């Protein structure tokens, strides 16, 4: 019998480092009542604009919502959007100790233009170039300093292919973490997919698994998915490969066997940010000493809960705890 209250209470004493690509999610809401005479496009009468923390920063918000202390490490540009990001960090009570600002970068910004509930357009301002050598070394030095000075319970790599995470950063951090026996967890993207060697947990979704390994997998067969997941375990020397499967739940492989957890039947409204919630929850559960199978079940529950909300929202800790006690205890 798992004492979920005890596990969740442990979250309050944990510090989780999040390394990755951060961004500003901007929303411009308005109303469309006519078409432009200049071109066949709608005219949006702007009503309000809102900025939110996005990318790896959303993982930090989920960790914070679960009671942990997130330590966000990333690089932003020396620009107006970077200033907006810094203000959002402050407004959300997040530290800037792990943040670097550099004039050669621009801050990733995704602006969504929305009429009522309909998204008309998204405008992305970003660079995807990897950090240059000097900045890469400065970034690792900041991370290394924080690992030495803080009690880090786990490290999450939140990769969006925007360049903050490089093969060197991965290798340097994982080597240091393994020496200190700090668990490392990865939410991967395509570019660095095969660079994450010797990590504790690697969490691709089904599409990322197929694309990253360049294999065809039968989505309806857990055995087929397990065969692909085993390649992650063995090729990257990963302890656990955890594949998220949307409505089919999650599958976890240790290279020898697998456990699969079906998704709960829910009123799915918006899947945005569910992956951020899953990696946050499983990192805390593993750091708290929970075995991988129940940790995956808790993370699966959490991912389903946030899909019942509109937009990217952090998990509700009390709601998740109640669900765990009711369905898993």
At residue 287's C-alpha, the angle toward residues 242 and 69, to 5°, is 110
pLDDT for the residue 312? 58
Confidence of residue 119 (pLDDT cuts 50, 70, 90): confident
pLDDT for the residue 308? 56
Q: Average pLDDT over the chain, rounded to whole?
A: 92
Confidence of residue 241 (pLDDT cuts 50, 70, 90): very high
Confidence of residue 88 (pLDDT cuts 50, 70, 90): very high
Q: In whole angstroms, what is the distance from residue 245 CA to residue 312 CA?
A: 19
pLDDT for the residue 269? 40
Mean pLDDT in residue range 111-124: 90
pLDDT for the residue 118? 86
Q: pLDDT tens across 15-32, in order? A: 999 999 999 999 999 999
Q: Which residues pair with 142 in a beta bridge?
A: none
pLDDT for the residue 313? 64
CB of 114 closer than 8 Å to CB of 120: yes
The fold adopted by the segment(s) 4-25+54-112+128-327 is 3.40.1190
pLDDT at residue 294 greater than cutoff 80: yes
Identify whether 276 is a catalytic site residue: yes
Sequence spans of domains, the chain: 4-25+54-112+128-327
CB of 44 closer than 8 Å to CB of 28: yes
pLDDT for the residue 204? 96
**What global pTM score does this model have?**
0.93
DSSP assignment of 120-172, as one string?
A: EEEEEE---PPPPHHHHHHHHHHHHHHHHHS---EEEEE--SSSSS-HHHHHH
pLDDT at residue 142 greater than cutoff 50: yes
Mean pLDDT in residue range 260-268: 68
Q: Dihedral sign, CA of 188, 193, 199, 205?
A: positive
Confidence of residue 270 (pLDDT cuts 50, 70, 90): very low
Q: In whole angstroms, what is the distance from residue 15 CA to residue 91 CA?
A: 19
pLDDT at residue 266 greater than cutoff 60: no
Q: Which of 25, 102, 276, 316 is catalytic?
A: 276
Mean pLDDT in residue range 113-120: 88
Return the structure tokens found at 245: 């499967």
Q: DSSP letter for 237, please.
A: T
């Amino acid at each position: 019998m798992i004492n979920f209250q005890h596990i969740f209470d442990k979250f309050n004493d944990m510090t989780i480092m999040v390394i990755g690509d951060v961004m500003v999610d901007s929303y411009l809401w308005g109303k469309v009542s006519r078409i432009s005479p200049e071109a066949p496009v709608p005219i949006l009468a702007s009503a309000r604009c809102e900025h939110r923390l996005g990318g790896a920063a959303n993982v930090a918000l989920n960790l914070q919502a679960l009671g942990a202390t997130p330590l966000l490490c990333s690089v932003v540009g020396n620009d107006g959007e970077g200033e907006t990001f810094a203000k959002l960090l402050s407004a959300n009570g997040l530290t800037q100790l792990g943040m670097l600002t550099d004039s050669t970068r621009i801050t990733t910004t995704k602006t969504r233009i929305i009429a009522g509930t309909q998204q008309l357009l998204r405008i992305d301002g970003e660079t995807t170039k990897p950090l240059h050598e000097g900045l890469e070394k400065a970034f690792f030095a900041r991370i290394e300093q924080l690992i030495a000075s803080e009690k880090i319970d786990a490290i999450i790599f939140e990769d969006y292919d925007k360049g903050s995470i490089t093969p060197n950063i991965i290798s340097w951090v994982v080597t240091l973490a393994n020496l200190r026996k700090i668990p490392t967890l990865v939410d991967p993207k395509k570019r660095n997919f095969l660079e994450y060697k010797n990590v504790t947990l690697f969490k691709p979704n089904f599409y990322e698994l197929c694309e990253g390994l360049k294999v065809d997998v039968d989505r309806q067969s857990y055995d087929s998915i397990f065969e692909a997941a085993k390649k992650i375990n063995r090729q990257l020397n990963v302890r656990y490969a955890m594949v998220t499967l949307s409505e089919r739940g999650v599958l976890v492989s240790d290279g020898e066997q697998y456990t699969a957890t079906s998704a709960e039947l829910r009123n799915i409204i918006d899947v945005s940010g569910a992956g951020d919630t899953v990696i946050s929850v499983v990192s805390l559960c593993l750091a708290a000493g929970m075995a991988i199978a129940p940790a995956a079940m808790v993370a699966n529950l959490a991912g389903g809960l946030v899909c019942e909300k509109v937009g990217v929202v952090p998990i509700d800790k009390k709601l998740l705890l109640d669900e765990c006690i009711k369905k898993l205890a």
